[in-house]
Amino acid sequence: MKKINIKEFYQTKKEEFSLTLVTNPKTLDNVIVNKYLNRPGLALGGYFERFANERIQILGETEISYLQSLKDEDLYDRIKEIFVYEIPCFIVTKGLSVPEQMEYLANEMNIAILSSRLQTDKLYHSLRKFLEDVFAPSQTIHGTLVDVFGVGILITGKSGIGKSECALDLVERGHRLITDDVVKIKLREDVLMGSSSNDYGHFMEIRGVGLIDIEKMFGIQAARIQKRLDAQIELMPWQDNMDYERIGLSDNFVDILGVKIPIIYLPVSPGKNVSVIMEVVAMNHILKTYGYDAAKVYTQKLQQDLQRKSKIYNTLLDDKE
Amino acid sequence: MIRKTIVIENKLGMHARPATLIVKAATKYRSEFRIKKDDMEINGKSIMGVMTLAAEYKSQLELIADGIDEEYLIEEISELFASKFGEE
């Protein structure tokens, strides 16, 4: 299970969410364990059934004004009741200040209160987006990710089959490299996003040459930071008895983090220009997305032709004198 | 399939030279070889992959070999780690 330390969250994100710390720094030891946010309106009102205490608690203008409307001793008791639960932290929006008793109890019971200058709605959305991204299911895959005519193609295959060389050829043809060798894939809603697993830049290893820097060599137009994954191409050595796709009517799919993407098993043999085939795969993918399937159109034409011919034949056959 | 957990004992961590040694040793064998660090799993026969781990001093790695010569592969790689790649 992934966790984010509140201290780390506060230190790295305080500018982005314009945060300041209300309580003392030793309250920052808690951890955030899920991507959800909660507005604890009902809990403040005293209703604790199904109180989502493990989420970050957001206090907006309504919550603060409700707290201020309570009598001092009621407020103290209620806050104490809430603070018994394990809560990662509270974030107060619009730069509002929390009641003194709440601040005192938070310090006593080690629960961080942060204050954000952003409006509740704005904070809610941007914080949610950030948490979605952090807690998104992810996976690393051995392969190379390229953007060919706007189609994100993941090239996989055994070591030494020529993934990098193929990507290099594509870059030379004006396509863009996202990352070579280790692709980090994240699930964002229903879309797979691929990027590099580090921020070193766009480096690549070419056997016999060593490391090269694609961005320096081919310019910024050859590099891209992330790309949606649209299709996978698995390069494999040519095998005589393997059943390769010939028409393209039946699509194969591969499951990555629960999302199905089309996969093409591409045999490679010396002298074969794989990058041209990659371009063709990309263009075919675009055509299919727009509703044109070459394999279907061709087979339909063939069928119509066959039907027409058999009609003529039958008519001639039936025409007995 | 063999899995073995090892700890990086050389002070500089897994920089380019040790990474090359590992990849060169691993590619001699026919078995598949993967290295896992935290939630990242990479192909141990690829130099970029091994360097991507950015495995620092005292970090823990899991070696995973699968194939006909998996024992020999793991043995040679483990020896490399044990020898600290000839470093401090």
User: What DSSP string describes A96-150?
Assistant: PPPPHHHHHHHHHTT-EEEEESS-HHHHHHHHHHHHHHHHS-EEEEESEEEEETT
Reported as a pLDDT band with limits 50, 70 and 90, residue A175 is: very high
- pLDDT, tens digit, 9 for 90 and up, residues A86-110: 899 999 999 888 888 889 989 988 8
User: What's residue A309's pLDDT?
Assistant: 87
List the domain boundaries for chain A: 4-135, 138-290
User: Searching chain B, which residue's CA lies closest to the CA of residue A211?
Assistant: B48
Of the partner residues B41, B45, B48, the one whose CB lies closest to the CB of residue A140: B41
Q: In the predicted model, is pLDDT for residue A120 greater than 80? A: yes
- pLDDT, tens digit, 9 for 90 and up, residues A260-318: 999 999 888 877 788 999 999 999 999 999 999 888 898 899 989 888 988 888 888 88
C-alpha closest to that of B77 among B37, B41, B39, B35:
B35
Domain formed by A138-290, architecture: 3-Layer(aba) Sandwich (3.40)
Q: In the predicted model, is pLDDT for residue B60 greater than 90? A: yes
- CB–CB of A131/A32 below 8 Å? yes
- pLDDT, tens digit, 9 for 90 and up, residues A30-58: 889 888 999 998 988 889 888 999 999 99
- pLDDT, tens digit, 9 for 90 and up, residues A131-174: 988 888 889 999 999 999 999 999 999 888 889 889 999 999 99
Reported as a pLDDT band with limits 50, 70 and 90, residue A321 is: low
Of the partner residues A138, A140, A205, the one whose CB lies closest to the CB of residue B48: A205
Q: Is A303 exposed, middle or buried (0-12, 13-18, 19+ CB in 10 A)?
A: exposed
Of the partner residues B40, B43, B54, the one whose CB lies closest to the CB of residue A159: B43
B25 CB within 8 Å of a chain A CB: no
Catalytic residue positions of B, numbered = 15
Residue A205 with chain B: CB contacts under 8 Å: 46-48
Q: Is A230 a catalytic residue?
A: no
Of the partner residues A140, A204, A205, the one whose CB lies closest to the CB of residue B42: A140
Q: Is A142 a catalytic residue?
A: yes
User: Searching chain B, which residue's CA lies closest to the CA of residue A180?
Assistant: B48
Residue A159 with chain B: CB contacts under 8 Å: 27, 43, 45-46
Q: Could you check whether A4-135 and A138-290 share the same CATH topology?
A: no
Residue A203 with chain B: CB contacts under 8 Å: 48
Interface test with A, best of B52, B56, B73 (most A CBs within 10 A): B52
Alpha-carbon distances of B59 from A197, B2, B38, rounded to whole Å: 18, 20, 9
pLDDT-above-90 percentage for chain A = 47
Residue B49 with chain A: CB contacts under 8 Å: 142, 181-182
Q: Do B40 and A182 touch (CB under 8 A)?
A: yes
What is the rounded average pLDDT for all residues in chain A?
90
Look up tokens 């191409």; give the residue. A233
Fold of domain A4-135 = 3.40.1390
- pTM, two decimals, is 0.77
| Mean pLDDT to the nearest integer, B45-62 | 90
User: What's residue A46's pLDDT?
Assistant: 87
- pLDDT, tens digit, 9 for 90 and up, residues A197-219: 888 899 998 888 989 999 999 99
Interface pTM (ipTM) of the complex?
Answer: 0.74
Reported as a pLDDT band with limits 50, 70 and 90, residue A2 is: confident
User: What's residue A279's pLDDT?
Assistant: 94
Higher-confidence position of A72 and A214: A214
| Mean pLDDT to the nearest integer, A244-270 | 86
